[in-house]
Amino acid sequence: MSKIAVVTGAGSGIGRAAALALLEAGWSVALAGRRAEALEATVAAAGGGADRCLPVATDVGDAASVAGLFAAVKQKWGRLDLLFNNAGRGSPSVDFDELTHEDWFGVVAANLNGAFLCAQEAYRIMKHQDPVGGRIINNGSISAHAPRPGSAPYTATKHAITGLTKSISLDGRKWDIACSQIDIGNAATEMTDRMTKGVPQANGTSMVEPRMDARHVGNAVVQIANLPLDTNVQFMTIMATKMPFVGRG
């Protein structure tokens, strides 16, 4: 039997790339995302791996919806080996005092509450299954290290993901639950299309930024996922080589 993974935000971008890479590597994958039609597009892109997909429309910010996702996984496969906590969103780039409460709470719900809810459900399954254990990989982002201008909600949540990753890593030791964080910079997805036209920099200018193929992120997820549980990549940064991150600000 193949190993079992849950990938959130699997309907597009990095989530789709990771899901397809896992399927190509022989995993069975539950595809979670808000839009059922986008998840079905990922299934279609899986080709011969489509029969190892379980698309489940999920709002990661809603506890009941998340519980339903993991219940479906347990019912179909009986266990869980990997969660890639990838779903998230940003907000408009505005000056701090112009940030709406709606945008703040929306980003926190998706990026932080969603990561917590999914990790907790995955942890419960991994703790009580036989053999015990599993792996959780959190999508941290370059913003877990350095902010962009006008990005307070996204940056704050990605810094919080680092604390969540460390806490899960510590608490999960006795149950053989490993936890990693991948900090991703400028993967070519719909979310980063704006970078091809120029994005604000810390010095007040705007510049076009290099991007990288999101498939490389998917391959990185597979690399970590296939490690034995006594080995962990605690933190990984994968980024477009020439993006303005090192020295940013």
Distance, in Å, from the CA atom of 128 to the CA atom of 171, rounded to the nearest integer, reads 14
* Distance, CA of 79 to CA of 126 (rounded, Å): 7
CA distance 224 to 210: 25
By C-alpha distance, which of 63, 82, 176, 161 is closest to 128? 176
Distances (CA, A) of 89 to 60, 168, 224: 11, 22, 24
What are 177's two structure tokens?
């639950």
Active site residue 123: no
3 state DSSP class of 15: helix
Residues 6+ apart with CB under 8 A from 135: 81, 82, 83, 177, 178, 179, 180, 224, 225, 227, 229, 232
Between CA 56 and CA 75 the distance in angstroms is: 13
- Exactly one of 15, 154, 168, 192 is catalytic; name it: 154
3-state secondary structure of 244: coil
Phi, psi of 139 (to 5 degrees): -85, 110
Task: Say if CB 161 and CB 118 are below 8 A apart.
Answer: no
Whether cis (ω within 30° of 0) applies to the bond prior to 210 is no
Catalytic residue set: 154
